[in-house]
Amino acid sequence: MINNYWGMAKRLVQLLVAQGISNQRVLDIIESTPRHQFMPESLAHQAYENTALPIGKGQTISQPLMVATMTQLLLQHDCQKVLEIGTGSGYQTAVLAQLVERVFSVERIAALQYQAKRRLKQLDLHNVAMRHGDGWEGWSSKAPFDGIIVTAAAARVPEALLQQLADGGVMILPVGEQQQSLYVVRRFGDNFEQQRIGDVKFVPLVKGTLL
């Protein structure tokens, strides 16, 4: 267990502010969410550094700056029903769950999903529904979504996710293989507008499921 993680979290938030994160709600939630509980105990001492860390099964917990950036972009729009693709450790899920009414999270690796579900329960976050499934397919039976956030890089924007976005909704996702960029996609009827935010590095969005 980490001693004085509040002080470490406070310093992390100061760094995020210096890096351009301005949404106070996002900063408050990042500060109060115990990131060290979302990773192997052997790495917990690095929990409040601004870095991505391995969580097993070839996956990572995202860099805090990226979590804050994607969440801030999402909250620039009135998103209350959000689809998350890639539950992973559950950290981004926990941040979202404290900022929107309902989160629907899809994870392809059952073992990671089980651990994330347990962590969210420990934090008393009960507005999250989880599905073990292929992130490329989304969660059509729960669509449409005001917002979609994708925490792994797709080679192209998944068509199924575009169709599950509500009219006026927004999707935040990394796209690319060797070179990846973060995009904001808005839906206006049958039209989609894309805005490139900048270069990023994520694990790939892989098709299929694993136990």
Residue positions annotated with a catalytic role? 62
Neighbours of 70 (CB within 10 A): 25
- The SS3 of residue 28 is helix
Rounded Cα distance between 115 and 123, Å, is 13
| Dist CA 160 CA 36 (whole Å) | 34
Tokens of 181: 């960029």
- Judge whether 130 and 63 are in contact, CB under 8 Å: no
Burial category of 132 from C-beta neighbours within 10 Å (exposed 0-12, middle 13-18, buried 19 and up) = middle
Angle between helices 5-18 and 24-32 (to 10 degrees): 150
Classified as helix, coil or strand, 40 is: coil
Instruction: Give the largest Cα separation in the chain, rounded.
Output: 51
Q: How far apart are CA 108 and CA 110, in angstroms?
A: 6
